[in-house]
Structure 1
Amino acid sequence: MARTVKNPKTDSRSARTKLPERREPYWTVVSAGCALGYRRGANGGTWLTRFRDETGKQHHGSLGAADDGRDPDGVTVFSFAQAQERARDFFGRKARELAGHTEPDEGPYAVAAALADYFAERERKGSKGVRADRYAADARILPPLGTVEVDRLTTKAIRAWLLSVEKAPKLLRTKQGSAVRKTADIDINDPDAGRARKATANRLLTVLKAALNFAFHEGKVASDEPWRKVKPYREADAPVIAFLSSSECVRLVYACQGSFRDLVRGALVTGCRYGELTRMHVADFNPDAGMITVRLSKSGKSRHVALADEGRQIFNSLTVGRKGRDLIFKRNDGRAWGASHQQRPLEEAAKAARLDPAPTFHVLRHTYASSLAMKGVSMRVIADQLGHADTRVTERHYARLAPSYVADVVRAALPSIGIAEMLAAGGDVTRMKLE
């Protein structure tokens, strides 16, 4: 049940007896556009409802008698809290009716249906990341919440679910078709592991709230109040950016096998995502301008990526003499790279290159951006190269790597104590004499 909204004028029998009789009800706003009314008459009061649609038109309804003179039974006589619960049902029915969802056999609208509708809408719009979000929802949201009616979701229930996600074991990659999902326990004494679990919980909360908000705006649920009150964990999503050094990049590239080496080189010189690289055609490379066009990015917009001399050489070698409609990057068997095809060869190459921990493919994108930041390239330029809508995400991840006035002043002014020289010379602190 959603939290009962308080109104000192009408939430108790004694308070209502002090109200003068009048035709206009005493209204309590339950949520945006939804209100519960109390009209006092000579023989007691009645509960009413008011629902305002998107055009501003008001729709009214009557719930039943207030418990002014009789004890509430929840059927014909209602307390203030019971009237609110019944009013929420009215708001939900009216919203669905106005949205055209009037089939009597639809049944309760559950969280699983809200997620399905939300993902279907994202797919219709061509949104990226739907596959990963759907996969995460299937694993973490649907088992505990899928059958719960959205109208009956409470803030307490959502917070309890969020806590359960934080405390749950980490899910590991499992072979396709496996009946049992592998998990790994979390070290409760490791602060980084705890932060990572909270970050995962926050990402899942974002997906859940987005689906529920979509249902609310589609008129399938009366109020968004229960999940609007649930806040993500603070300081859980502080970016921990991993990137490779130049020597590590060389070792990784040489450890890659076959056509996968080309894909890794392409990522390091462009900062493009795996999906962006695997969709690139020969015609997307302009050798005269030294530019790569990313026609479809995560944001749904195209962008142009400038190539340095090394990048030009790589793309020239990969595209020379080929047709414009050909994919630039293909597997050894000539087929296109598919979703998650990069993970296994990257893990094998990282092991051969002695990189610990093994980088994900996205670390190659971080490596590209970090290299630019450490050379003093502006956040705006880096954001444009990466395809970020603005500099907020770019600054959050890479601003700390950029040369700064503060760092330069500290390095120039802080005197040398002599510790490094002493240790380099094999000095023994225990034999040093005080002067």
Structure 2
Amino acid sequence: MKVKLNTVAARDALPVRRDPYWQRIEKGCYVGYRRMSTATPGTWLARYYDDAAGKNRWTTLGALDHLPANERFDAAQRAAREWFDHLGKGGSDENCTVRGACERYVEHLRHESGEAKAAEASARFRRYVYDERLAGFDIKKLTAAHLKDWRRKLAAKPVASKDGGKRADSTLNRDMASFRAALNLALADGLVTSSHAWEQALRPISGADGRRDTYLDPDQRRRLVDAAQPALQSFLKALCALPLRPGALAQLNVADFNARLGTLRVGADKAGADRRIPLPAATVGFLAEAARDKLPQAPLFVDANGRRWDKDSWKWPIKAAVSGAGLPDSVTAYTLRHSVITDLVSRHGLDLTTVAVLAGTSVEMIAKHYAHLQQDYARNALAQLVL
């Protein structure tokens, strides 16, 4: 039976039933209307015949009861055509909200990069995405305007720290990165067929990360360690001896250190894969001291309260040590990683591939930031070629 859904009178005349009524809008494409009670406004649907799969695919468009009754068919038809277009571009027929896309990304990280990275992303989403109105949007309905508004609000939020200061550009970049990655995964999975909404709106601020601009020479590093509170000294000393991210160092357990073999296993890190670092005798000595009388699964480094260090617990003690040592205010825990990598490349001439392995990053990243430090070595090598 041919059905007309485009007028209120025609819809009101339809008998109540569970199965939807369908009106064809083009070959293989239909708008549907389900009316299960005279007391409810009814629900709109879209149906598409997939020739390749040999079956119908359909989705719910909602009641559309925020619109006058005489405008609902046109709105349903527009929404259906958008969905048909999405499918035509290879999109999935799975419906997914922005929050759902973020949760999918957390699960992806859990399987690909481990629990630590998944927990970090999940915490950012809880703080900055899940309580926002856009979290409930169908990801296909997300627009650049929505994301620009979200970005403005995030930039205006004070940082969650003791002083509640202005959010730095580098902090904003890090807070946006997980969200952008979640949306890109949704694109890869066909939940959305274009990155137009976030391509510009969530573009990172270039040149925002100034952490690599501050370098401490070995004498300055010793002064920083000496100025630190006793519980922090061991942690800082390790950062001065190893090219590790502070977070990765903080995640080490006693079992990760093998004094007999002189190695350190680094597992919980941004790079994801485990790696083992060969240690010189002096480093083995002070790590053995840090591990003394601790169980294998205990943190290798702990704060004054016996808890594992994290970015919130080390921030202010390091600031106090920086002040006590008379060093620039720009010095952070990450400054020590940068300084150690700088010395490995410029003072000790270690090749970039080995530095990348030790630091747990890509050769491309090391080359981007540190290759220029090898110019003197290159100049000396070229000088040996002169006849």
Q: Sort the TM-score into its range (normalised by shorter chain).
A: 0.5 to 0.7
SS in structure 1 of the partner of residue 220 of structure 2: helix
Alignment gaps of 5+ in structure 2: 1-24, 28-45, 60-70, 382-387
Alignment of 1:88-127 (within 5 A): 88=85, 95-96=93-94, 109-123=96-110, 125=112, 126-127=114-115
8 Å Cα contact 1:141/1:204 also seen in 2: no
1:305 aligns with 2:274: no
Higher helix content, 1 or 2: 2
Describe the shift of the 1:333–1:171 C-alpha distance in structure 2 as closer, same or farther (beyond 3 A). closer
Counterpart secondary structure, 1:263: helix
| Identity score, percent | 20
Q: How well do the aligned residues superpose, as a CA RMSD in angstroms?
A: 4.3
**Distance in structure 2 (CA, Å) of the matches to 1:146 and 1:323:** 43
- Of 67, 72, 75, the residue aligned with 2:73 is 75
Q: State the alpha-carbon separation in 2 of the partners of residues 399 and 118 from structure 1.
A: 33
Say yes or no: does 1:148 pair with 2:155.
no
Deviations 1:3-35 (A, max 9, x none): xxxxxxxxxxxxxxxxxxxxxxxxxxxxxxxxx
| 1:385 partner letter | L
- Map 1:138-287 → 2, pairs under 5 A: 138-142=126-130, 143=132, 145-159=134-148, 161-162=150-151, 164=152, 168-169=155-156, 171-174=158-161, 182-184=164-166, 197=169, 200=171, 202-216=173-187, 221-227=191-197, 229-230=199-200, 232=203, 235-236=206-207, 241=212, 242-287=214-259
CA distance, structure 2, for counterparts of residue 396 and residue 332 of structure 1: 38
Q: Distance in 2 between matches of 1:123 and 1:381?
A: 28
> Given that residues 269 and 310 in structure 1 are in contact (C-alpha distance below 8 angstroms), is that contact kept between their aligned partners in structure 2?
no
Aligned to 2:264: 292
CA shift for structure 1 position 261: 0.5
Change (3 A) 1:356 1:131: farther
Q: Does 1:84 align with 2:81?
A: yes
- Give the number of aligned pairs: 325
Verify the 8 A CA contact 2:290 2:300 in the aligned structure 1. Answer: yes
Equivalent position SS for 1:356: coil
Report the CA distance shift for 1:300/1:245 in structure 2 as closer, same or farther (over 3 A): same
The Cα offsets for residues 66-102 of structure 1, whole Å up to 9 and x where unpaired, read as xxxxxxx8837999x7763252587899722xxxx8x
| Residue of structure 1 in register with 2:321 after alignment | 349
Residue of structure 1 in register with 2:356 after alignment: 383
Residue identity matched to 2:100:
A
Larger Rg: 1
Change (3 A) 1:338 1:184: closer
Deviations 1:212-232 (A, max 9, x none): 34445556x353444475472
Contact (CA 8 Å) 2:109, 2:117: kept in 1 or not? no
The residue that corresponds to 2:11 in the other structure is none
Question: Does 1:366 find its partner at 2:338?
Answer: yes
**TM-score (normalizing by structure 1):** 0.60
Does structure 2 retain, via aligned residues, the 8 Å contact 1:51–1:59?
A: yes
Q: Which runs of 5+ in 1 are unaligned?
A: 1-36, 40-46, 64-72, 102-108, 176-180, 186-195, 410-435
Name the counterpart of 2:53.
Answer: 57
Asked whether 1:395 is paired with 2:330, we answer no
**1:265, 1:393 → 2: CA distance?**
25
C-alpha separation in 2, matches of 1:86 and 1:276: 44
- CA distances 1:159-196 after superposition (whole Å, capped 9, x unpaired): 5655x369x34623345xxxxx94438xxxxxxxxxx6
Q: Secondary structure at the match of 1:299?
A: coil
- Partners of 1:183 and 1:238 lie apart in 2 by 17
Change (3 A) 1:253 1:203: closer
Once the two structures are superposed, residues 93-130 of structure 1 have per-residue CA deviations (whole angstroms, 9 ceiling, x without a partner) of 9722xxxx8xxxxxxx4323322332244345525444
